[in-house]
Structure 1
Amino acid sequence: NFLIKSQCTGKVKQIFSLQEAQSSGVVCTIEPCLHEIEYGGICVSCGFHSEEIHEDQPEKLSCGVTAKNLKFNHEIAINLENKNKEQLLKQKKLLLVLDLDHTLLHTCLGRVEEPGTEELNIDRVTFTTKLRPHLEFFLNNLKDLYQMCVYTMGTHKYAEAIIKILDPNREYFGGRVFSKDDAPDQAVKSLKMIMPFDDTMAVILDDTYEVWPNCPNLILCERFVYFIQEPDPISAKFTRDNDVVLYFMSELLTRVHWKFYSEENADVKSILNTLKSEVLSDCKIAFSGIIPLDKEPKEDPLWKLAESFGATCQTQVNESTTHLIASVYGTKKTQYARRRQIPILHRAWLDLSTSCWHPLPEAPFTLENIGQLDMFALLPTSLKRRLSSTSPSPYKKLKTESGNDSLESQSDSDSESDFADLNSKE
């Protein structure tokens, strides 16, 4: 007996007789393995580990398949992606990739006994989770427009525990859950995990842009922070008491979907870029007491933020100025603005208008009114009634913030006028 080792991996196709082998010098023929599918780094066809395969092999891709450690070669991945795109187009849907922590909810370590929180136990460790206000409204509003999936930097066990709360009946995500355990690089996220070849139909909602480097598909969401010891009084009004970010994100994503299916050869990246540039396109903004005097104004993050949403920023206040962002009254700029009746606003107006992708009414953001800021009150009446009267939640403790459960739900036509109502507010 002797052992013959092939120089390539694959399946034995034909074994020759001893006489044939002696005359030709060929013992057998082998059909090389293409290593099309790997599970846990092992080829499902030939059983070799990827580290044992010395042939040049392109990187394997998961292509939206959530079975952990299951990877495909490029040809199969392209076919899977094309089938998913065909299904999305047939259903007139887009792909929505959702972050969990600080986007849809906030989780802290330990037990916190507060109304409206959920307790998790993962590997004998206790966590407490608070769902973001109006999350049910957000998911219900988008489920027919988007194929939704979760992509978190948390572990897979944590993600699955959260999904049991968010989607116990698999109505929204259908098991499409990705975590850092599934990613080749645990420091950043990549759409290649889900749609590796064509990202024209993919939208991302996340509170952290650093984990999506150079990704034009990203909508940066206002960070949701609930478990804090001493909250900033302004941010607390927004993130704890009456957070309405998910309403604005729902409206924005609805507009993205409508524009995509209204255009030929549409690409969500160009749609997002256009919508973003329109948010403050009518605004000419100056600053007082906001940007340090020893700093170049155009290099300040707030200046860049305003410009990225279409605003024209000015170093001086003049007759063309539409908004003055200030920290205190009494400066020459604020005195000029008062004489010209130019709105003098707290920087929260700019922060929150860009977070919501919509210019908010000015009156609640004046320096004298900012301490009484009530984001829920800024919403149009029709929307507040809709949010107050949504159908019973599948979540055990999720409630709207309005405190009024007796109002009847509004017709679909209300949603079309929500932005018009908001624009008409003082």
Structure 2
Amino acid sequence: MSSSTALPPPPTLPFPIVVQQLKIQAGNEIKRGDILLQYSFEAKDPDDRHRIQKRVGSWECPIEGKLTRWNVKVGEVVIDSRKPLLHILEPCTHAVQLEGLCALCGKDLTTSDYLGPSQASRASIRMSHDTTSVLVSLEEASRLDNISTSHLLSTRRLSLIVDLDQTIIHATVDPTVGEWMDECGLLPTSESKGKGKDSNKKGGKGRRRNPNEEALRDVGRFKLGLSAGRVEDDCWYYIKPRPGLPAFLKELSKLYEMHVYTMGTRAYAEKVCEVIDPKGEFFGRRILSRDESGSLTAKSIARLFPVDTSMVVIIDDRSDVWEGSRNLVKVVPCEFHLA
């Protein structure tokens, strides 16, 4: 995909500079390292600090493509690096990168030289939920954001970032929960120790009713098991949804495209979502964990929405991790206590 790139001079030039000669004409092809222009500048004589010398230098092109137009003329004074001096139509802008390689043309972008930093620096934004390897440029992030915004507007929805623990679920590893679920006959028959074998029989003679039975009916559970070739905790995680959660998610899905953002591991987040959203109809694969966000102490709305946050709402039981974001709706922590 070709794109016109506005190219400013590097900040390392001895500003102010005066353009003396444009070395490449509009319409010509440019290779990396070709001289774009020559300039003059004034500098103090190293042997006499009170005398000013006029010196000359050149600016070499850090990219390749076709020069489409100049924004500067011979004799013009350039005072800093904020103004683009020319436009180049590149065969590839390397806007999407994967571990140092351009995902569009396959070029290795990690090499740095005297022309400046490696071209890998042209893409620094992470937008993918499930990986940190894919990086995009600001221009590509803006393009993707526009597509997402158009889709949301067409479906008359906004975006909603949802925290898991203490916000929409309460998780525990207390084995007592499993014992009581077994006692109430709420575990698969193959795993039951037999305490609740009569729990499904009306009347259940001889069985003392557990006061937590109704509260335990919607509790889900899982083990993390094998992850990345190693054994995780071999304990059961018990997940109690916030009261009314299924109806809540169903109604919100009509108004929002929902994303999970948690400080838990990805393995944990995916297991929780299997419990509360088994068909993937609410969150899909839009799950961001600490494995991708890279922080155990803070969350950033820019990690998912780096360009425009005006259509984003956050629900979380903690405000401190969001550094006072105005998009946050803080909820009362969800805590479930057995009798």
1:121 is aligned to 223
1:108 is aligned to 172
How far, CA to CA, are the matches of 1:50 and 1:184 in structure 2? 26
Residues 1:36 and 2:36 are matched in the alignment: no
**SS in structure 1 at match of 2:291:** helix
1:167 is aligned to 277
Superposition map of 1:377-388 within 5 A: none
Q: Which of 260, 265, 270 in structure 2 is aligned with 1:150? A: 260
Q: CA deviation at 1:59?
A: 5.9
1:68-121 CA-to-partner distances (Å, cap 9, x unmatched) read 532211111100011100111111001111000000101123533242322211
How far, CA to CA, are the matches of 1:50 and 1:222 in structure 2? 50
1:312 is aligned to none
**SS in structure 1 at match of 2:161:** strand
How far, CA to CA, are the matches of 2:320 and 2:107 in structure 1? 40
- 1:50 to 1:201, Cα distance in 2 relative to 1, 3 A: farther
Letter in 2 for 1:225: E
- 1:153 to 1:198, Cα distance in 2 relative to 1, 3 A: same
Task: Using structure 2 for the length normalisation, give the TM-score.
Answer: 0.54
How far, CA to CA, are the matches of 2:111 and 2:318 in structure 1? 34
Letter in 2 for 1:159: A
How far, CA to CA, are the matches of 2:131 and 2:171 in structure 1? 25
**SS in structure 2 at match of 1:61:** coil
How far, CA to CA, are the matches of 1:190 and 1:96 in structure 2? 14
2:317 is aligned to 207
Q: Which of 63, 80, 90 in structure 1 is aligned with 2:127? A: 63
Residues 1:80 and 2:144 are matched in the alignment: yes
How far, CA to CA, are the matches of 1:181 and 1:221 in structure 2? 25
- 1:129 to 1:10, Cα distance in 2 relative to 1, 3 A: farther
1:54 is aligned to 117
**SS in structure 1 at match of 2:336:** coil
**SS in structure 1 at match of 2:144:** helix
Letter in 1 for 2:221: E
1:189 is aligned to 299
RMSD: 3.1
Q: Is the 8 A contact 2:159 2:257 kept in 1?
A: yes
Superposition map of 1:360-371 within 5 A: none
How far, CA to CA, are the matches of 2:267 and 2:221 in structure 1? 15
Residues 1:218 and 2:328 are matched in the alignment: yes
**SS in structure 2 at match of 1:174:** coil
Q: Is the 8 A contact 1:63 1:81 kept in 2?
A: no
Q: CA deviation at 1:170?
A: 1.4
1:319-365 CA-to-partner distances (Å, cap 9, x unmatched) read xxxxxxxxxxxxxxxxxxxxxxxxxxxxxxxxxxxxxxxxxxxxxxx
1:139 is aligned to 249
Rg larger for: 2
Number of residue pairs the alignment of both structures matches: 207
How far, CA to CA, are the matches of 2:294 and 2:138 in structure 1? 16
**SS in structure 1 at match of 2:322:** coil
Q: Is the 8 A contact 2:167 2:316 kept in 1?
A: yes
Letter in 2 for 1:121: K
Q: Is the 8 A contact 2:316 2:330 kept in 1?
A: yes
Q: Is the 8 A contact 2:128 2:134 kept in 1?
A: no
Q: CA deviation at 1:33?
A: 6.3
**SS in structure 2 at match of 1:60:** coil
Q: CA deviation at 1:161?
A: 0.9
Q: CA deviation at 1:220?
A: 0.5
How far, CA to CA, are the matches of 1:206 and 1:180 in structure 2? 15
- 1:157 to 1:49, Cα distance in 2 relative to 1, 3 A: farther
Letter in 2 for 1:156: R
- 1:184 to 1:141, Cα distance in 2 relative to 1, 3 A: same
How far, CA to CA, are the matches of 1:73 and 1:186 in structure 2? 26
The runs of 5 or more residues in structure 2 that have no matched partner are 1-31, 34-60, 67-89, 182-215, 226-231
- 1:50 to 1:225, Cα distance in 2 relative to 1, 3 A: farther
Q: Is the 8 A contact 1:103 1:207 kept in 2?
A: yes
How far, CA to CA, are the matches of 1:118 and 1:63 in structure 2? 31
Percent of aligned positions with the same letter in both sequences? 30
Which structure shows the higher helix fraction? 1
Q: Is the 8 A contact 2:96 2:123 kept in 1?
A: no
1:234 is aligned to none
1:360 is aligned to none
Superposition map of 1:255-274 within 5 A: none
**SS in structure 1 at match of 2:281:** coil
1:229-254 CA-to-partner distances (Å, cap 9, x unmatched) read xxxxxxxxxxx79xxxxxxxxxxxxx
Which structure shows the higher strand fraction? 2
- 1:134 to 1:94, Cα distance in 2 relative to 1, 3 A: same
How far, CA to CA, are the matches of 2:64 and 2:283 in structure 1? 39
Larger RCO: 1 or 2 (CA < 8 Å, sep 6+): 2
How far, CA to CA, are the matches of 1:103 and 1:70 in structure 2? 29
Task: Using structure 1 for the length normalisation, give the TM-score.
Answer: 0.44
How far, CA to CA, are the matches of 1:199 and 1:171 in structure 2? 24
